Chains A and B, each alone.
Chain A
Amino acid sequence: MSKQGKTRTVEEINEKIRKGDAQVLTAEEMKKLVESSGVGVAFKEVDVVTTGTFGAMCSSGAVVNLGHSDPPIKIEHAWINDVEVCHPGAAVDLFIGATNMSVKQPFEYGGGHVIQDLVAGKEVELKATAYGTDCYPRTQIKTSLTKDDLNQFYLLNFRNCYQRYNCAVNGSDEIIYTYMNKLLPRLRNATYSGAGELNPLMNDPDYETMGMGTRIFLGGAQGYIIGEGTQHSPKNQNGTLMVKGNAKKMSPEFLQGAAFTKYGTSLYVGLGVPIPILNEGLAKKTAIQDGEIFTDVVDYSVPRRDRPKLAQVSYKELKSGSITVGGKKIRVSSLSSLKMAKKVSTTLKSWIEQGEFFLTSPVERLPTDSVFKPMRQTQEIPFVVSVMHPAVTCTENEEIRAIAERIVTKSVNHIVVIDGGGKLRGIVTSWDITRAMAEGKKALADIETRNVITAKPDEPLEIASKRMEQHNISALPVIDIERKVLGIVTSEDVSKLLGRENAW
Chain B
Amino acid sequence: MVRILLRFNEELVPQPVTSQIILEHKVPIAILAAHVNAKGGEILVEVPDGVQDKIVKAFRQRGVTVTVPKLIEVDTEKCFSCGSCVALCPVEAISLDKDSTVKFDKEKCVGSPCSICVDACPARAIKSVKHTNGNSNQPSGK
Q: Which positions in A face B, CB cutoff 8 Å?
A: 54, 56, 108, 177, 181-182, 184, 189-191, 256, 258-261, 266, 268, 321, 330-340, 342
CA A259 – CA B122 in complex, angstroms? 5
Q: Is the CB of A333 within 8 A of B123?
A: no
Q: Which residues on the B side are within 8 Å of A190 (C-beta)?
A: 87
User: In angstroms, how far is the closest chain A Cβ from the Cβ of B136?
Assistant: 33
Task: Name 6 extra pairs, CB < 8 A, besides A191-B87, A256-B80, A335-B84.
Answer: A184-B88, A259-B122, A261-B120, A330-B87, A333-B85, A335-B83
- A-B pairs with beta carbons under 8 Å apart, 30 shown: A54-B80, A182-B84, A182-B88, A182-B119, A256-B80, A258-B122, A258-B123, A259-B122, A259-B124, A261-B119, A268-B80, A268-B82, A330-B87, A331-B87, A332-B87, A333-B85, A333-B88, A334-B82, A334-B83, A334-B84, A334-B86, A335-B83, A336-B82, A337-B82, A338-B96, A338-B100, A339-B81, A339-B100, A340-B80, A340-B81
Q: A256-B80, A339-B99 are in contact. Are A182 and B120 (CB under 8 A)?
A: yes
Q: Is the CB of A333 within 8 A of B99?
A: no
Interface set, chain B 84-140, CB cutoff 8 A to A: 84-88, 96, 99-102, 116, 119-120, 122-124
Q: Is the CB of A189 within 8 A of B81?
A: no
Q: Which residues on the B side are within 8 Å of A181 (C-beta)?
A: 84, 120, 122
Q: Is the CB of B99 within 8 A of A260?
A: no
User: In angstroms, how far is the closest chain A Cβ from the Cβ of B69?
Assistant: 21
User: In angstroms, how far is the closest chain A Cβ from the Cβ of B110?
Assistant: 16
Chain A, interface SS category:
strand
Interface size on B, as a range, is: 20 to 34
CA A339 – CA B95 in complex, angstroms? 13
Q: Is the CB of A338 within 8 A of B83?
A: yes
CA A190 – CA B83 in complex, angstroms? 12
Point out the residue from B84, B101, B119, B124 that lies within 8 Å of A333, measured CB to CB. B84
CA A335 – CA B82 in complex, angstroms? 5
Q: Which residues on the A side are within 8 Å of B88 (C-beta)?
A: 182, 184, 189, 333
CA A261 – CA B119 in complex, angstroms? 6
CA A342 – CA B99 in complex, angstroms? 9
User: In angstroms, how far is the closest chain A Cβ from the Cβ of B138?
Assistant: 29
CA A333 – CA B86 in complex, angstroms? 6
Q: Which residues on the B side are within 8 Å of A54 (C-beta)?
A: 80
Q: Which residues on the A side are within 8 Å of B86 (C-beta)?
A: 321, 331, 333-334
CA A491 – CA B120 in complex, angstroms? 34
CA A93 – CA B105 in complex, angstroms? 47
Q: A56-B122, A342-B99 are in contact. Are A337 and B80 (CB under 8 A)?
A: yes
CA A259 – CA B85 in complex, angstroms? 14
Q: Which residues on the B side are within 8 Å of A337 (C-beta)?
A: 80-83, 100
CA A190 – CA B84 in complex, angstroms? 10
User: In angstroms, how far is the closest chain B Cβ from the Cβ of A11?
Assistant: 36
- Closest CB pairs A-B (n = 8): A331-B87, A258-B122, A333-B87, A333-B86, A338-B100, A339-B100, A182-B120, A339-B81
Q: Which residues on the B side are within 8 Å of A256 (C-beta)?
A: 80, 123
Residue of A whose beta carbon sits closest to that of B81: A339
CA A330 – CA B100 in complex, angstroms? 20
CA A334 – CA B81 in complex, angstroms? 9
User: In angstroms, how far is the closest chain A Cβ from the Cβ of B54?
Assistant: 38
User: In angstroms, how far is the closest chain B Cβ from the Cβ of A379?
Assistant: 35
User: In angstroms, how far is the closest chain B Cβ from the Cβ of A224?
Assistant: 24
User: In angstroms, how far is the closest chain A Cβ from the Cβ of B77?
Assistant: 11
CA A265 – CA B110 in complex, angstroms? 29
Residue of B whose beta carbon sits closest to that of A113: B124
Q: Which residues on the B side are within 8 Å of A335 (C-beta)?
A: 82-84, 122
CA A330 – CA B86 in complex, angstroms? 12
User: In angstroms, how far is the closest chain B Cβ from the Cβ of A372?
Assistant: 26
CA A256 – CA B123 in complex, angstroms? 8
Q: Which residues on the B side are within 8 Å of A56 (C-beta)?
A: 122
User: In angstroms, how far is the closest chain B Cβ from the Cβ of A330?
Assistant: 8
Q: Which residues on the A side are within 8 Å of B99 (C-beta)?
A: 339, 342
User: In angstroms, how far is the closest chain B Cβ from the Cβ of A47?
Assistant: 26
Q: Is the CB of A321 within 8 A of B87?
A: yes
Q: A189-B88, A338-B100 are in contact. Are A260 and B83 (CB under 8 A)?
A: no
Q: Which residues on the A side are within 8 Å of B87 (C-beta)?
A: 189-191, 321, 330-333
CA A336 – CA B81 in complex, angstroms? 8
User: In angstroms, how far is the closest chain B Cβ from the Cβ of A422?
Assistant: 30
Q: A182-B88, A189-B88, A333-B86 are in contact. Are A260 and B122 (CB under 8 A)?
A: yes
Residue of A whose beta carbon sits closest to that of B85: A333
- The winner among B82, B99, B100 for most chain A CB atoms within 10 A is B82
CA A337 – CA B101 in complex, angstroms? 9
Q: Is the CB of A333 within 8 A of B122?
A: no
CA A256 – CA B80 in complex, angstroms? 9
Q: Which residues on the A side are within 8 Å of B120 (C-beta)?
A: 181-182, 261
